[in-house]
Structure 1
Amino acid sequence: MEAMRAVQAGPSRQSQVCVVVIGYDDAAHVTDAVRSALAQGPSVREVIAVDDGSADGSADLLERLALDEPRLRVVRRKANSGGCGSPRNDGIDATTAPYVMFVDSDDVLPPGAVDALLDAAAGRGAEVAAGLCVRRELPSGREVPWQPELYARAALVTVPSRRTRLVHDTLCVNKLYRTAFLREHGIRFPEGRFPYEDFVFTARVLAAGPRMALIADRVYVWHVRRSAERLSISLDRSGVDNWRARITAHALAYDTLLGAGEKRLARASRARFLDHALRMYARELDLRGPAYRREWWALTRAYLATFDAGDFALAPAPGRVIAQVVLASEKPCDLTRVKEVAARPARLRPPYARAADGTPVWSAGLPRVTLEHLLFRPVHLLPVAVDAELRPRARGTRLRLRLHELYGRMADAGPASVDAEFVSRRDGTAGLALTAEFLPDATGPAAPADLADEVGGSGPGPGSGPGSWTAETPVDLAALGSGTWDLRLRLRFHDGTVRETTAHASAGPGLLRRSVVPSRRHGVLLVQPYATRAGSLALRIAPGPRGVAAVLGRRLRRLLH
């Protein structure tokens, strides 16, 4: 019986899908994207490759490929549109297939993606089917799932507003759309140069109230090439115009949802802005110049001023706190501390100020930013602050951790011990696990040296409790081997609470610098503790004389060029 059903289902599934591949000056990758679409099998009726006015021979490559592949159709735009929306709209207009999906020229579809999405859409009578996208970092190959909570298991969503998490997945490429649905509702991408066009397109889809089938299958591989000569729009955040474009797209998506009567989805989209976009860009503020910071701050204040209390209430605490700081100060301030709160997990470093009535506040200079939630929030969700010092030495490397008090909450829970893991940046595996006990620090609750100038001199205030607890352990660097390692912590408290977090990289004299240390296994190790963009401690290691020479050689070439 099952075999008969499979035979009956087979022909009806054939020639149902159009895959639209868009590209501009990407001759190195576009044919791989097209081939990954063609390799999906007979379910794909056609692959429409839209070349957006390339000058690098991309279109000619596609034309030659089409000579041997009747399912491939090449559409050549005379001039570059400046964005991704116009070529995708060309694909929607050109297709004759009942379903359509989109692929960017530098990404690929994994085997079976189209069949999995088509089965879900056709089998559940859904206008949209969506699956898991993974971000693959190149050249390392490390993969990070995108919005995995949405795609943990198969589900049918008949009313999108009942699953507000849908607004968190702003991608269009991990989805299959019924062509007639898009055309009936006039759903298109913004034309021309409009960065973050996905945000608006996704909002227009949700505003139309489709039945959506969600599947747990991997259906899209998003290649992230941070070393590329021309970064993608989502990666090139160095200019403030990128932030302006992101705000514009977010605002239009919000207006689209609100205009369609989808208030719950509209508010959820603003909560996502606070928790994702605001935190991501805030982590990078201290890397930018003064002019960028001033303009970013002004743009953000103006946009946040359009939010109401309901918009803020839905967002997780870190995004709300950052927004409050921006709204409370006309000029950029406390950037180091803002970056720490923006980290994942969030960290709130001392000093811990209080208002005259004892209410926790951001600082004496910004008492309007209250932090009352810290008095009631469960300990396993608190933005605990841990400073880390890694000192590579010939006689032995040691890791020293200092956990700061947080308005008495740490003392109440009772710090007991910490599990520290060095996790490979390449594949996420643990290279070394350590455990150490926390002991009360004899010193008082002083502000760290690298925060003193940022927080305007606000002190911890009365009733702040013990200053900190310290834990120290030896580290066998040779056991880690070559690569880049992130430090992850699991704090254990006497009341049974466990809090997972990261550690702030202390920047005291001589702490964040390269060191060459002897090793019985490798002869020598080149060790580089450093702070990530979020301020967390990470570690690079190059073992052996050849490894040391290679690293120093690359550094010399960068200096010469």
Structure 2
Amino acid sequence: MDPSLPLSPRPSPSPSPSPQVCVVVIGYNDAAHLADAVRSALAQGPSVREVIAVDDCSTDGSGELLTELAAREPRLKTIRRAANSGGCGTPRNDGVEATTSAYVMFLDSDDVLPPGAVDALLTAAARHDAEVATGLCVRRELPSGREIPWQPLLYKKAQLIARPELRTRLVHDTLCVNKLYRTDFLRRHAIRFPEGRFTYEDFVFTARVLAAGPRIALIPDPVYVWNVRRSAAKLSISLDRTGIANWQARMESHRQSVEILRDAPSATGTAGKRLARAARAKFLDHGLRMYARELTTRSPEYRREWWTATRAYLATFDTADLDAAPAPGRIIARLILASPEPRDLPRMQAVAARPARLSPPYAQASDATPIWSDDLPQVTLEHLLVRPVRLLPLAVDAELRPRAGGSRLTLRLHELYGRVADAGPATVDMELTARDGTGPGLRRTAAFSPAGDGTWLTEAVLDLGSLRGGVWDLRLRLQFGDGTTRDTTARAVAGPGLLRRTVLPGRHGILLAQPYATQAGNLAVRLAPGMRGVAGVAKRRLARLVRDLGGGDQSAGAR
């Protein structure tokens, strides 16, 4: 499935199931989006018996808005909490307690249900006598509108999972909102969300659901649209990762989830341990990598706190837990465990990227075993000697210098323990793709030449003026003489071209081009159209010139 293409729901099944579903909508000070969420639930049709909207003591008029909506819609019931709970779990629990419907599902005030979602889930649950039915969640990045499927590998086809331990990948989908639950199943097993301000409450709730051993029906239909507003004045609880408290909360939620799965009363034999081990592997491959990518942007104090807390938590993992994780997360975990202080953060950032990259230097033990570094021989990388070339964490450095006569892109491919030379670098397909997933990109192919220092070089001239404004990411496909290929990204090299703003002639006027490094260290370029952007840059450059001539603070105008 192409994540850059919008996803549209499948037609609703016919005839419509009887009204037996409750949609619990929760919100706090989100009057701007609340009505859209409620209407998307009501628009699901007669399958929805009731919508229970729980206002967590808002002060922005959300309660009054819900009262007005309920006056016109008999299926809408409202609950207004007397005090704010501080989290998402308590209002969802209130909704579950209040429902009289056979099934229940959850919806956040800033998200929506796509047409046909409830019918698709209810049909699957009824057909398979399943306690839980779950479908595809789509992350919609706003304002661009780009849609990215969440955990698409789980939802390639419709299937019934008789017991969760038979499909341990279920632990990867920790969301509660893309699922339909049988109400008596939740009540019989006393499955509730953690109360109060509890970040990542979904982790614990989902673990409790899986631990109860339900029959789970999976469908490929999009059933939930998760609106991600990163530019909002106030980020959602889970998206706000600026403080160490967010990471600590994530680890605590994960720790509780692992304990719940490991001690599952419904599990027989090693089933609970299998689910717990899969959850720990997922933590290393997802959560650990995501936060490790951001460390170079954090303060030294944050880095030290993060490293100490992470090291303590990883010490509770056993060797089998680490071995069960994909290589990038496993390497990062072993590096953290081997060092009491933060180190090698740019290299770790590259390993944490998707796809992973391993930057030089490439150390070896006395027996030629690849290792992280000479002073950390216990962090071994022997898997690199046998891993297929198409999966190797190959490192490519990139430098982009925008120029009016043609922007020059230089790529340098690094050797990796002899594997690159053995495969024989041939050519590379370069593509600049729009971050929002729309519009044609820019493609070039160039041949590699050996540089004589264990690297291979190539250059290409790019017409950035042919592109529209926006953010453009560089994607690479490396092609080797032995017929193999490797899709990857390139590390932005610090140099005179990086972050430098250049005025270029564009197809529809002038453009302002700025190469930069993404949070994962990848090369990307911003293109800003029009005179306003150029005038702003000229004004800032003039201000810096005046400041420098006057001996002002050198850091005041840093970009």
Q: TM-score, normalised by structure 1?
A: 0.91
The residue aligned with 2:473 is 486
Alignment of 1:413-428 (within 5 A): 413-427=423-437
Matches of 2:177 and 2:536, distance apart in 1: 39
The residue aligned with 1:495 is 482
SS of equivalent residue, structure 1 residue 369: strand
Matches of 2:177 and 2:530, distance apart in 1: 44
Quick one: which amino acid aligns to residue 515 of structure 2?
P
Which of 51, 60, 67 aligns to 2:64? It is 60
1:462-494 Cα offsets, whole Å, 9 max, x none, are xxxxx1001111101122221110000000000
Q: Tell me, yes or no, if the aligned pair for 2:399 and 2:497 is still in contact at 8 Å.
A: no
Matches of 2:535 and 2:222, distance apart in 1: 41
SS of equivalent residue, structure 1 residue 28: helix
Q: Tell me, yes or no, if the aligned pair for 2:497 and 2:515 is still in contact at 8 Å.
A: no
The residue aligned with 1:506 is 493
Question: Structure 1 residue 473 and structure 2 residue 477: aligned?
Answer: no
Which of 188, 195, 200 aligns to 1:196? It is 200
Which of 387, 392, 405 aligns to 1:395? It is 405
Matches of 2:67 and 2:425, distance apart in 1: 65
Q: Tell me, yes or no, if the aligned pair for 1:431 and 1:479 is still in contact at 8 Å.
A: no
Q: Tell me, yes or no, if the aligned pair for 1:542 and 1:551 is still in contact at 8 Å.
A: no
Which of 72, 77, 83 aligns to 2:76? It is 72
Deviation of 1:523 after TM superposition, in Å, equals 4.6
Q: Tell me, yes or no, if the aligned pair for 2:406 and 2:464 is still in contact at 8 Å.
A: no
Question: Structure 1 residue 17 and structure 2 residue 16: aligned?
Answer: no
The residue aligned with 1:266 is 276
Deviation of 1:522 after TM superposition, in Å, equals 3.9
SS of equivalent residue, structure 2 residue 70: helix
Question: Structure 1 residue 30 and structure 2 residue 34: aligned?
Answer: yes
Deviation of 1:364 after TM superposition, in Å, equals 1.6
Q: Tell me, yes or no, if the aligned pair for 1:50 and 1:77 is still in contact at 8 Å.
A: yes
Q: Tell me, yes or no, if the aligned pair for 2:501 and 2:537 is still in contact at 8 Å.
A: no
Q: Tell me, yes or no, if the aligned pair for 1:197 and 1:249 is still in contact at 8 Å.
A: yes
SS of equivalent residue, structure 1 residue 189: coil
Percent identical among aligned pairs is 70
SS of equivalent residue, structure 1 residue 109: coil
Are residues 162 and 429 of structure 1, via their aligned partners in 2, closer, same or farther at CA, if it must alter by over 3 Å?
farther
Deviation of 1:309 after TM superposition, in Å, equals 1.3
The residue aligned with 2:514 is 528
Alignment of 1:115-154 (within 5 A): 115-154=119-158
Deviation of 1:313 after TM superposition, in Å, equals 1.3
The residue aligned with 1:224 is 228
The residue aligned with 1:165 is 169
Are residues 309 and 430 of structure 1, via their aligned partners in 2, closer, same or farther at CA, if it must alter by over 3 Å?
farther
Q: Tell me, yes or no, if the aligned pair for 1:159 and 1:211 is still in contact at 8 Å.
A: yes
Are residues 190 and 328 of structure 1, via their aligned partners in 2, closer, same or farther at CA, if it must alter by over 3 Å?
same
Deviation of 1:127 after TM superposition, in Å, equals 0.5
Question: Structure 1 residue 295 and structure 2 residue 305: aligned?
Answer: yes
1:159-190 Cα offsets, whole Å, 9 max, x none, are 11111110000000000000000001111101
Matches of 2:358 and 2:32, distance apart in 1: 44
Deviation of 1:124 after TM superposition, in Å, equals 1.2
Are residues 217 and 168 of structure 1, via their aligned partners in 2, closer, same or farther at CA, if it must alter by over 3 Å?
same
Which of 395, 416, 428 aligns to 1:406? It is 416
Matches of 1:543 and 1:357, distance apart in 2: 56
**Gaps (5+ residues) in structure 2?**
1-12, 544-555
Deviation of 1:518 after TM superposition, in Å, equals 3.5
Matches of 2:236 and 2:496, distance apart in 1: 37
Q: TM-score, normalised by structure 2?
A: 0.92
SS of equivalent residue, structure 1 residue 367: strand
Matches of 2:539 and 2:42, distance apart in 1: 43
Deviation of 1:228 after TM superposition, in Å, equals 0.9
Matches of 1:540 and 1:250, distance apart in 2: 37
After superposing the two structures, state which structure 1 stretch, 391-400 or 347-356, moved more: 391-400
Question: Structure 1 residue 373 and structure 2 residue 383: aligned?
Answer: yes
Question: Structure 1 residue 541 and structure 2 residue 527: aligned?
Answer: yes
Deviation of 1:356 after TM superposition, in Å, equals 2.2
1:214-237 Cα offsets, whole Å, 9 max, x none, are 001110000000111110112100
Q: Tell me, yes or no, if the aligned pair for 1:139 and 1:225 is still in contact at 8 Å.
A: yes
Matches of 2:114 and 2:130, distance apart in 1: 22
Q: Tell me, yes or no, if the aligned pair for 1:418 and 1:491 is still in contact at 8 Å.
A: yes
Are residues 19 and 264 of structure 1, via their aligned partners in 2, closer, same or farther at CA, if it must alter by over 3 Å?
same
The residue aligned with 1:456 is none
Are residues 541 and 352 of structure 1, via their aligned partners in 2, closer, same or farther at CA, if it must alter by over 3 Å?
same
**Gaps (5+ residues) in structure 1?**
1-5, 445-466
Matches of 2:352 and 2:439, distance apart in 1: 25
Matches of 1:545 and 1:498, distance apart in 2: 42
Deviation of 1:430 after TM superposition, in Å, equals 4.7
The residue aligned with 1:335 is 345
Q: Tell me, yes or no, if the aligned pair for 2:498 and 2:514 is still in contact at 8 Å.
A: no
Question: Structure 1 residue 253 and structure 2 residue 260: aligned?
Answer: no
The residue aligned with 1:284 is 294
1:229-259 Cα offsets, whole Å, 9 max, x none, are 1101121001000000000000000000000
Are residues 267 and 401 of structure 1, via their aligned partners in 2, closer, same or farther at CA, if it must alter by over 3 Å?
same
Matches of 1:97 and 1:550, distance apart in 2: 58
Matches of 2:243 and 2:521, distance apart in 1: 21
